[in-house]
Chains A and B, each alone.
Chain A
Amino acid sequence: MTDTSSTSLGEAVARAAPAPIASRIRGLSDRSMAWLFITPAIALLLAVNIFPLIWAIYLSFTNFRANRPNAALENVGLSNYSRVLNDPNTWQAMQTTAHFVFWTILLQTLIGFSLAYLIDRKFRGHAFWTTIILVPMMLSPAVVGNFWRFLYQPQIGLFNHIVSFLTGIPPSSFEMLGSVRLSPWAIIIVDTWMWTPYVMLICLAGLRSIPDYIYEAAEVDRASLWRQFWSITLPMALPFIMLAILFRGIENFKMFDMVTLLTGGGPGSTTEVASITLKREAFESWRTGRASAFAIILFVAVFGLANIYVKALNKVKQR
């Protein structure tokens, strides 16, 4: 059946095409046709993904600096890797990144799942509230960053005035973006505000995929709501929750735009996540070789962690 339809499609294409092309297409095997169609995509992938990766690996073993293209290129072995790994700034940036990733994922998962659980109750107007909740993730990070900069402004910012209204402390007495203690949390708040809806959406898909008859059977067995949650809802939604954590984890590990717009990595280096350190090394200090080594280290770290996580996710799904 499949063969017949593909043959007729091939004939139709051949008929529509000028004679020489038609005969050439008629002579092509399915395999050749498949290669013909995927070759542009593969070529594009090689050009924009694989080649730069291989080139970056090569550069990471050299002393190349993009601002000195005429300087002699020397092989420096593992020196760039050694310098990156022995640089306290690298580890500080990694710690800052880990702090940011951990807290954003924790908060987004807890709030996102709770919202999904509430929305899944299908109360009156739930579709409207779902749309409202989704608005932040539809905005551009550039808009969100600038918008929150104003909200956090100590003299005129709404955030400081709300905190002042609730606690009684003067609005100008604290700086969300300028304080070493508060600035990491300022970024976590913004990222949580923006991306919790995304986690909620994935969790909601998980909750909606649980068949009603399982809950009906549990009710027949007189299982309490709490028991139903622990024994049915959470285990069955877990693969979705883990998927959301994976997506947000990868995304936040390479977080750049929001941090740049809100604090630029400051004050000092307090919020300098790994991607900002990498950008400074590559495009401000122009130590391209060392920046390439750092990029490869980050790539391996994310790739390795994501692989371990995906294996765990598959195990959960197989249960």
Chain B
Amino acid sequence: MKTIKQALLGATSALILLGAAPNLAKADELTLCWAAWDPANALVELSKDFTSQSGTTMKFEFVPWPNFADRILNELNSGGKLCDLLIGDSQWLGGSAENGYYVKLNDFFDKEGIKMSDFADAAVNAYATWPKGTPNYWALPAMGDANAWFYRKDWFGQPEIQAEFKKKHNRDLAAPTTWDELLEVAEFFNGREIDGKKVYGAAIFTERASEGITMGSTSALYPYGFKYENTPGKYDMEGAVNSPEAIAGLEAYKKLYKCCTPPGYTDAYMGESLDAFKSGQVAMAMNWFAFFPGLYKDEKVGGDKIGFFVNPKEKVAASTLGGQGISVVANTDNMDGALAYIKWFAQPDVQKKWWSLGGYAVHKSVLNDPTFTESQPFAADFLVAMNQVQDFWQEPSYAILLQAMQKRLHDYVVADKGTAKEALDGLVKDWTEVFKDDGKL
């Protein structure tokens, strides 16, 4: 009998301890969710300081980009408790705010003296606010980013290539500043033999499944004059989305794809662009600023061999926005810990270190530092890009809007279906249906 009692007592104690264990661990542990890419490694390094100061253990859940939205939005939709902090895409703000997935941070910012005016205006608008244009903050701007370009500076600098280009185009070969120049340079390099190897003009985004071709195409659409609405907030898309300027932009993107991308480049995004460039296949490539520190350090193609340029303008100067804000997930069991991390991350010193490690801080103390533009070969371009960024819809229905655009653009650009006008007319039709369903039209 005594043995049975002891066994029962032991089992009960074990159960109590087991039940309590997760809560004990949770109290000084935070899980931060983000995409798996170069800046995430920098954040791991940076967060060691937070751990040493607060005693909170940081855990990280990094998801590869192609699955990032699926994985994390599933987590949020199902009320999961995986993430205490989330560095989520800017387009998720509307849905996450309206569905109560993110904590509204206004009161916390006021209490802790965190001022949004300390961060770049474009970043605050893009990464923190919902509804747009209102001072309702759902995130702290964490990682500024935009789509930009890099090129083989060593190839551009070869005297015989320069001479041939000048003879053909009557101007010096240099990093393109307009889309016309970009097409010209891409065509010039395409099919050329350099160092005994056939090379191609440019690596661009054509990926179908997630957001690739939309992010790539908008880098042409925005500079040509594409707009989402005629009047912001009115959802009047006819004549804006399918304007003659937008049609010209989409045609330019298709021209670049058809003329100058490597063979088999029908479903390419960040990874494929980096691979094409690093393997010496292309003269130029588009990708997010986030990858530039890693590219510059690359032994084969970095250093003196690489140059960077901001997305070329055409009618207007514009870049496609990337980047994210850091939000507190409303479902967290460690709200105090999560808010403490935000408070720590917002400090100017931490932001400076974040930039030095390869993260794109958008705190004005970093950006306005006189040494900033000289701190990295792409820092000046980053400043220019962040002042001309445009973003995709941030509506709660952004996923449907994005899928519609992915389909229309891929059908036209890659699969040769219809004309640019038909693709954009179809897009207006798709988007109109979505906004009607949402009761906004």
Per the bound structure, the CA–CA distance linking A155 and B416 in Å amounts to: 22
Query: Whole-angstrom distance between the alpha carbons of A180 and B414 in the complex?
Result: 9
- A264 x B400 contact (CB < 8 A): no
Question: A139-160: which have CB < 8 Å to B?
Answer: 153-155
Residues of B contacting A153 in the complex (Cβ-Cβ under 8 angstroms): 264
Interface residues of A in 43-81 (CB under 8 A from B): 66-70
Q: When chains A and B are docked, how far (Å) is the Cα of A180 from the Cα of B411?
A: 10
Q: B396 at the A/B interface (Cβ < 8 Å)?
A: yes
State which of A69, A155, A177, A285 has its C-beta within 8 Å of the C-beta of B266: A177
Cβ B208 vs Cβ A175 within 8 A:
no
- Indicate if A263 sits at the interface (CB-CB under 8 A): yes
B409's nearest neighbour on chain A, judged by CB, is A268
A67: B residues at CB distance < 8 A: 73, 76-77, 95, 99, 399
Given A68-B99, A285-B403: A268 and B77 within 8 A (CB)?
no
Chain B interface size range = 20 to 34
Q: Is A91 an interface residue (CB 8 A)?
A: no
Bound-state CA distance A305–B262 (Å) is 44
B263 within 8 A of A: yes
In the bound complex, residues from chain B placing their C-beta under 8 Å from that of A231 are: none
A263 to B411 Cα, complex, angstroms: 13
Instruction: For A70, list chain B residues within 8 Å (CB).
Output: 99-100
Hey, which chain A residues are within 8 Å of B415, CB to CB?
A: 180, 266-270
Residues B77 and A267 in contact, CB atoms below 8 Å apart: no
Q: How far is the CA of A270 from the CA of B414 in the complex (A)?
A: 10
B410 contacts across to A, CB distance below 8 A:
266-269
| Chain B residues in 8 Å Cβ range of A7 | none
With an 8 A cutoff between CB atoms, is A248 at the interface? no
Q: Would you call A286 and B400 a contact (CB within 8 A)?
A: yes
A265 at the interface (CB under 8 A from B): yes
Give the chain B neighbours of A161 by CB distance below 8 A.
Answer: none
Q: Decide if B392 is an interface residue (CB 8 Å cutoff).
A: no
- Give the Cβ gap from A128 to chain B, nearest Cβ, in Å: 37
- Return chain B residues, CB-CB under 8 Å to A178: 263-267, 414
Supposing A266-B410, A268-B411, A270-B415 touch, asked if A66 and B77 sit within 8 A by C-beta, the answer is: yes
Shortest distance from the beta carbon of B374 to any chain A beta carbon, whole Å: 40
Given contacts A155-B262, A178-B265, whether A267 and B100 have CB atoms under 8 Å apart is: no
Restricting to B258-290, which residues have a CB under 8 Å from any CB of A? 262-267
A283 CB within 8 Å of chain B: yes
Secondary structure call for the A interface:
loop
- The reply to whether the CB of B417 lies closer than 8 angstroms to some CB of chain A is yes
Determine whether A26 belongs to the interface, using a CB cutoff of 8 Å to chain B. no
Interface mask (A212-233 → B, CB under 8 Å = 1, otherwise 0): 0000000000000000000000
Contact of A263 with B70 in the complex, beta carbons under 8 Å: no
Whether A269 pairs with B266 at a CB distance below 8 angstroms is no
Given the known interface contacts A266-B208, A268-B411, A268-B414, the answer about A155 and B99 at a Cβ–Cβ threshold of 8 Å is no
Residues of A in contact, count (CB < 8 Å): 28
CA distance A284 to B209 in the complex (A): 9
Q: Judge whether A280 is part of the interface by a CB distance below 8 angstroms.
A: yes
Asked whether A172 is an interface residue with its Cβ less than 8 Å from the other chain, the reply is: yes
For B99, the chain A residues whose CB sits under 8 A away are 67-70
Q: Is B230 on the interface with A (CB-CB < 8 A)?
A: no
Q: Which residue of B lies closest to A262 (CB)?
A: B267
The verdict on B352 contacting chain A, using a C-beta distance below 8 Å, is: no
A267 lies within 8 A of B414 (CB): yes
Tell me the complex Cα distance, A172–B79, Å: 48
Q: Is B74 an interface residue (CB 8 A)?
A: yes
Residue of A nearest to B92 (CB): A67
Residues from chain A with a CB closer than 8 A to the CB of B98 are 68
Smallest Cβ distance from B267 to chain A, in angstroms?
6
Find out whether the CB atom of A266 lies under 8 angstroms from the CB atom of B263: no
Distance in angstroms between the alpha carbons of A110 and B243 in the assembled complex: 53
B192 at the A/B interface (Cβ < 8 Å)? Answer: no
Supposing A67-B73, A175-B266, A263-B267 touch, asked if A269 and B400 sit within 8 A by C-beta, the answer is: no
B407 at the interface (CB under 8 A from A): yes
Do the beta carbons of B265 and A264 come within 8 Å of each other? no
Taking the nearest CB of chain A, how far is it from the CB of B398, in angstroms? Answer: 10
Chain B residue at minimal CB-CB distance from A153:
B264
Q: Report the bound CA distance from A89 to B73 in whole Å.
A: 25
* CB neighbours of A268 from chain B (8 A): 208, 407, 410-412, 414-417
Please give the distance in Å from B30's CB to the nearest CB on chain A. Answer: 25
CA distance A267 to B98 in the complex (A): 35
Distance, CA A154 to CA B263, complexed state (A): 6
Smallest distance from the beta carbon of B12 to chain A beta carbons, Å?
24
Specify which chain B residues have a CB less than 8 angstroms from the CB of A267 in the assembled complex: 208, 266-267, 410, 414-415
Partner of B264, one of A177, A264, A280, A287: A177
Q: Indicate which residue in A66, A154, A155, A264 contacts B208 across the interface (CB closer than 8 Å).
A: A264
Which residues of B pack against A, CB within 8 Å?
70, 73-74, 76-77, 79, 95, 98-100, 208-209, 262-267, 396, 399-400, 403, 407, 410-412, 414-417
Which A residues are within 8 Å of any B CB, using their own CB? 66-70, 89, 153-155, 172, 175, 177-178, 180, 263-270, 280, 283-287
- 28 A-B residue pairings within 8 Å (CB atoms): A67-B73, A67-B95, A68-B98, A68-B396, A69-B99, A154-B264, A155-B262, A172-B263, A177-B266, A178-B263, A178-B264, A178-B265, A178-B414, A180-B416, A263-B267, A264-B267, A265-B208, A266-B208, A266-B414, A268-B407, A268-B414, A268-B415, A268-B416, A269-B407, A269-B411, A270-B415, A280-B403, A286-B399
Please list the 6 inter-chain residue pairs (A to B) with the smallest Cβ-Cβ separation, ordered nearest first: A268-B415, A178-B266, A268-B411, A154-B263, A154-B264, A267-B415
Given contact pairs A175-B264, A177-B267, A263-B267, enumerate 4 new A-B contacts (beta carbons under 8 Å): A67-B73, A264-B208, A269-B410, A286-B400
